[in-house]
Structure 1
Amino acid sequence: MLVIHELRAFHDLIRDSGMEDNAGTIYLVEAVKGDLRKACSLCGVLKWIGEHALRLKLVNDEEV
C-alpha cells in the first residue's frame, strides 16, 4: 500500500514528466509466487494517452 509521501512523489513525477518532458524512473515490486517478489525499474518520459483518458504511457528513446 502506498503511503502519502509516496503518492505525492508519484504525482510529482507524473506532472513533471508529462508537462516538461523530463525523464523519470519508476521502481516497482511485482508478486511472482507466494512470498517471492521481483523488483523492476522502468525509465522514460510519461506521455498522456488520449485527450480525456487518464492513461499514461512510459516512452523511452527507442519508442520516440
Structure 2
Amino acid sequence: APDGGYDPYVLQVLTCREGAVARITAFRDLRLFAVFGLPARLPAGAGGRDQSALPSWMG
C-alpha cells in the first residue's frame, strides 16, 4: 500500500498430511478475511518477525 501498510490479496489454506504440505488452496475472495475475523489491512510495521529467529536455510 502507498502508506507502507499491507493490503490483503489472497487467503491461502495449507492442508498438511503426515508432517508435510499436501495441498495449498488459494481464495481470492477478500470477503473471507472478515468471515474468519482477519483484519481488512495491516498498518506498516505490523506482523514483523525477527529474522534472526528463522532457520538459516530460510534466509
TM superposition score normalised by structure 2:
0.31
* Structure with the higher fraction of residues in helix conformation: 1
Larger Rg: 2
TM superposition score normalised by structure 1:
0.30
Higher relative contact order (CA 8 A, sep 6+): 2
